[in-house]
Amino acid sequence: MEHIIIIGNGISGVTVARHIRKLSDKKITIVSAETDYFFSRTALMYVYMGHMKFEHTQPYESWFWEKNNITLKKGFVKHIETATKTLEFAEGDSLKYDKLIIATGSKPNKFGWPGQDLKGVSGLYHKQDLENVEQYAPNNKVCKRAVIVGGGLIGIELAEMLSSRGIPVTFLVREKSFWNGVLPDGESGMINRHIKNHHIDLRLGFNLKEIKSDENGQVSSIIITETGEEIPCNYVGLTAGVSPNIDFIKTSDIELGRGVKVNRFLETSVEDVYAIGDCAEQRDGGIDQRRPIEAVWYTGRMMGETLAQTICGNRIQYKPGHWFNSAKFLDIEYQTYGWVFAKPRENEAHFHWKHEDDTKCITVCYDTTTNLFLGINTFGIRMRHEVFDRWLTEQKDVNYVMDHLAEANFDPEFFKHFEKDILNAFKNNLITA
């Protein structure tokens, strides 16, 4: 029986395993050095905040794996010998595969800052990172202040986590406005204010120069590049993005770039070796307007759904549909469908509407020559994925979308609706523009 080994038990690895099981009775082994069971990485923050226990982040009860005949192996792969199709483990043992799927995800970026490996410095990606935060920032007596470096999705989650335990947080963001490389100004500005309303010390346009240590090799302060200001702190969170977690593959003959190079079929340079999820890098550049490396929950899942077909004899390309994503910035939910870039590109325009309470806004992007609807960012108002996916497929124009916005509303019953305000603002905007 063909033996499929999957390295990594995150959403990509587990999805491909589940789908292979649905389609076949191949022998499946999932290898992980991180945890015994699959858990939702995006939910780690809720464990620290006390919303959930770690068990709650595990989507399947432990009997699930045995019932579906999926073997789980805890171990750290230190070398892949593709010639003999063998995995060598740091623990000393080895395993033979017929097909290998690399789904090892990401690791937090470190840009060579002095002091980046001190005790009390961590990212927030692995379960071990959570344990680090718990150790060095358990409460505001042990941790008088925490500094977070890097203003992205993980940075703001970490800021929310730490402040949930009453720890004062300084949030260093390189950009002039939060996540402004992705979000248009209006949205980014609203989130800046929301962060400050949560009493988080947001420092925009500042970089980390170095992290200083005390006599025990533990963080004692950080220095800001631009001002030279020293901020005493007991924990530093490094959240300046993530990069593929592929160091252990470097000794093999699998071709690597920033990630594991794959073609559209998610096949690597070596036969019978595949890569999916955050660690895979499309060798021909990003698909559609996507990036070559997509470190997103949803794309990891979609690659898993796709690759299972190929593994089970129906060789198909990874062809994701319309772009979508979501996040939550403290109390404000964010969803996006289609493409809205931080600045309108050529022949594009943005329509921005913001509610006076400063917690809800939308940005709609459309083509100024054809009026084609290109995408929407929505904050504080839930929208239907299915409706926007259909409108994008049907290539609706922006007027149609604005007229029918109520159809896409996904807020709970009895919530106040804003479609009329939005439509009026849109019409006025066209008149004045």
Q: Which one of residues 250, 271, 413, 433 is an interface residue with other proteins (CB under 8 A)?
A: 413
- Based on the shown chain and the rule CB under 8 A, indicate whether residue 414 belongs to the binding site for other proteins: yes
Site residues for other proteins, window 371-400 (CB under 8 A)?
382-386, 389, 393
Nearer to other proteins, 298 or 400 (CB): 298
Nearer to other proteins, 96 or 110 (CB): 110
- Based on the shown chain and the rule CB under 8 A, indicate whether residue 326 belongs to the binding site for other proteins: yes
**Alpha carbon separation from 41 to 11, 128, 296, 303 (Å, rounded):** 8, 11, 11, 17
Site residues for other proteins, window 10-29 (CB under 8 A)?
11, 19, 22
- Based on the shown chain and the rule CB under 8 A, indicate whether residue 198 belongs to the binding site for other proteins: yes
Q: Which helix (H) or strand (E) element contains residue 237?
A: strand 235-238
Q: Phi/psi of residue 301, each to 5°?
A: -65, -45
- Based on the shown chain and the rule CB under 8 A, indicate whether residue 168 belongs to the binding site for other proteins: no
Query: How long, in residues, is the chain?
Result: 433
- Based on the shown chain and the rule CB under 8 A, indicate whether residue 333 belongs to the binding site for other proteins: yes
**Considering the complex, what minimum distance in angstroms separates the CB of residue 205 from other proteins?**
25
Burial (CB count <10 Å: 0-12, 13-18, 19+), residue 166: exposed
Site residues for other proteins, window 62-91 (CB under 8 A)?
63, 76
Site residues for other proteins, window 250-269 (CB under 8 A)?
none
Q: Which helix (H) or strand (E) element contains residue 196?
A: helix 185-197
Q: Which stretch binds other proteins (CB under 8 A): 44-52, 96-104, 244-252, 266-274?
A: 44-52
Site residues for other proteins, window 337-376 (CB under 8 A)?
359
Q: Which stretch binds other proteins (CB under 8 A): 178-186, 204-212, 273-281, 327-335?
A: 327-335
- Based on the shown chain and the rule CB under 8 A, indicate whether residue 407 belongs to the binding site for other proteins: no
C-alpha–C-alpha distance, residues 432 and 430, integer Å: 6
- Based on the shown chain and the rule CB under 8 A, indicate whether residue 61 belongs to the binding site for other proteins: yes
**Considering the complex, what minimum distance in angstroms separates the CB of residue 430 from other proteins?**
28
C-alpha–C-alpha distance, residues 51 and 108, integer Å: 24
DSSP label at residue 322: S
Site residues for other proteins, window 123-162 (CB under 8 A)?
127-128, 131, 134-135, 138-142
Q: Are 252 and 84 in contact (CB under 8 A)?
A: no
- Based on the shown chain and the rule CB under 8 A, indicate whether residue 417 belongs to the binding site for other proteins: no
**Considering the complex, what minimum distance in angstroms separates the CB of residue 280 from other proteins?**
15
Q: Which positions ≥6 away from 296 have C-beta within 8 Å?
A: 278, 325
- Based on the shown chain and the rule CB under 8 A, indicate whether residue 106 belongs to the binding site for other proteins: no
Q: Are 301 and 338 in contact (CB under 8 A)?
A: no
Q: Which positions ≥6 away from 124 have C-beta within 8 Å?
A: 44, 45, 108, 130, 133, 154, 157, 158, 161, 237, 239
Q: Which one of residues 241, 243, 269, 324 is an interface residue with other proteins (CB under 8 A)?
A: 324
